A and B are shown apart, each in its own frame.
Chain A
């Protein structure tokens, strides 16, 4: 059984104008697999509490990247107000299905929609940390360049990892792919792979359907949806 633990914020890093990475110190953290998440609980002075799930962003320690949702109950606090030294309660790691293990031999295709990049970034980082040579390919769909997370890290060469960006509304000047929704051409050609798709529900539905259309075995497509807002 997984209990609630007290986590103290030690470091923050802005990823872009609306997303922030928070690094927590959690005594006796048992370790986790890339792709797992934690449940976060915030309790107000009057006892009212709100819970949200956030993916762990790295292979070690408790590092979360949170996308601010306007009018959200939890994300504005995490992305704007919480300061190093502040504490919250969290529970985890949880989720044993949407995970990648560094000993997995099969090539990996990662498909991220917006903030869905977080658990997939954890997989890329876990691969690097383990010195694994499993071929990785990431297709990362974002509305516009301002929405990108981990930009410098993703653009830095990482042998065996290929990264392609698909802008859906607006691309930076000179980007070879015209802006538009994700298509089979973005995900193809077919190559045998374990697929991981994470993003808003609608994105996950359509990306998974595109993968099946390309010939991927549905049993090898793992998905994680974070709902309409993700708050």
Chain B
């Protein structure tokens, strides 16, 4: 398992399709163990249908994103909260 995951940086593009703010820079709290950290540091597995992001502390699923041709299905049940910084959304070079 060790070597075949990416990290939450890989979620930035797919989530940018849905949200105006950059969710990869958000801080999430794991519903299973309470660990907090940036979405960018979650372990992302892309072999499953869609993208599955797991907590680096306890390996529970925090977020799951499945894209079909006409919709995006986002399962956030493994995250208690998402704190989304909004500074990144402004200024030159920020997220559009």
Report which A residues bind B (CB closer than 8 A).
1-2, 30-33, 36-39, 51, 53, 91-98, 200-202, 205, 222-228
Nearest to A32 among chain B residues (CB) is B93
Nearest to B88 among chain A residues (CB) is A96
Judged by a CB distance under 8 angstroms, whether B66 is at the interface is: no
Q: Are B41 and A223 in contact (CB under 8 A)?
A: yes
Q: Are B18 and A37 in contact (CB under 8 A)?
A: no
Interface residues on chain B, number (Cβ under 8 Å): 32
Query: In whole Å, how far is B91's beta carbon from the nearest beta carbon of chain A?
Result: 9
- Chain A contacts of B2 at CB under 8 A? 201-202, 205
Q: Are B17 and A2 in contact (CB under 8 A)?
A: yes
Task: Please list 15 pairs of residues, one from A and one from B, whose beta carbons are closer than 8 Å in the complex, sorted by A's number.
Answer: A1-B19, A91-B13, A92-B16, A95-B12, A96-B95, A97-B8, A98-B40, A201-B2, A201-B7, A202-B3, A223-B41, A224-B40, A225-B7, A227-B6, A228-B4
Q: Which of A1, A31, A93, A97 has its CB near the most chain B CB atoms (within 10 A)? A: A97
Q: Give the distance in Å from the alpha carbon of A31 to the alpha carbon of B38 in the complex.
A: 23
Given contact pairs A37-B9, A225-B6, A227-B6, A91 touches B16 in the complex (Cβ within 8 A): yes
Q: Are A31 and B95 in contact (CB under 8 A)?
A: no
Q: Give the distance in Å from the alpha carbon of A94 to the alpha carbon of B22 in the complex.
A: 8
Judged by a CB distance under 8 angstroms, whether B25 is at the interface is: yes
Judged by a CB distance under 8 angstroms, whether B80 is at the interface is: no
Report which B residues bind A (CB closer than 8 A).
2-10, 12-14, 16-20, 22, 24-25, 38-41, 46, 85, 88, 92-96
Q: Are A201 and B93 in contact (CB under 8 A)?
A: no
Q: Give the distance in Å from the alpha carbon of A200 to the alpha carbon of B41 in the complex.
A: 14
Q: Give the distance in Å from the alpha carbon of A127 to the alpha carbon of B6 in the complex.
A: 27
Q: Are A98 and B93 in contact (CB under 8 A)?
A: no
Q: Are A31 and B92 in contact (CB under 8 A)?
A: yes
Nearest to A227 among chain B residues (CB) is B6
Q: Give the distance in Å from the alpha carbon of A222 to the alpha carbon of B13 in the complex.
A: 18
Q: Are A96 and B24 in contact (CB under 8 A)?
A: yes
Query: In whole Å, how far is B8's beta carbon from the nearest beta carbon of chain A?
Result: 8
Query: In whole Å, how far is B56's beta carbon from the nearest beta carbon of chain A?
Result: 10
Q: Are B13 and A92 in contact (CB under 8 A)?
A: yes
Query: In whole Å, how far is B66's beta carbon from the nearest beta carbon of chain A?
Result: 15
Given contact pairs A2-B16, A33-B94, A201 touches B9 in the complex (Cβ within 8 A): no
Nearest to B85 among chain A residues (CB) is A96
**Contact partner of A97 among B4, B19, B38, B46, CB < 8 A?**
B38
Q: Give the distance in Å from the alpha carbon of A201 to the alpha carbon of B4 in the complex.
A: 7
**Contact partner of B16 among A1, A97, A201, CB < 8 A?**
A1
Q: Are B10 and A96 in contact (CB under 8 A)?
A: no
Nearest to A90 among chain B residues (CB) is B13
Query: In whole Å, how far is A77's beta carbon from the nearest beta carbon of chain B?
Result: 19
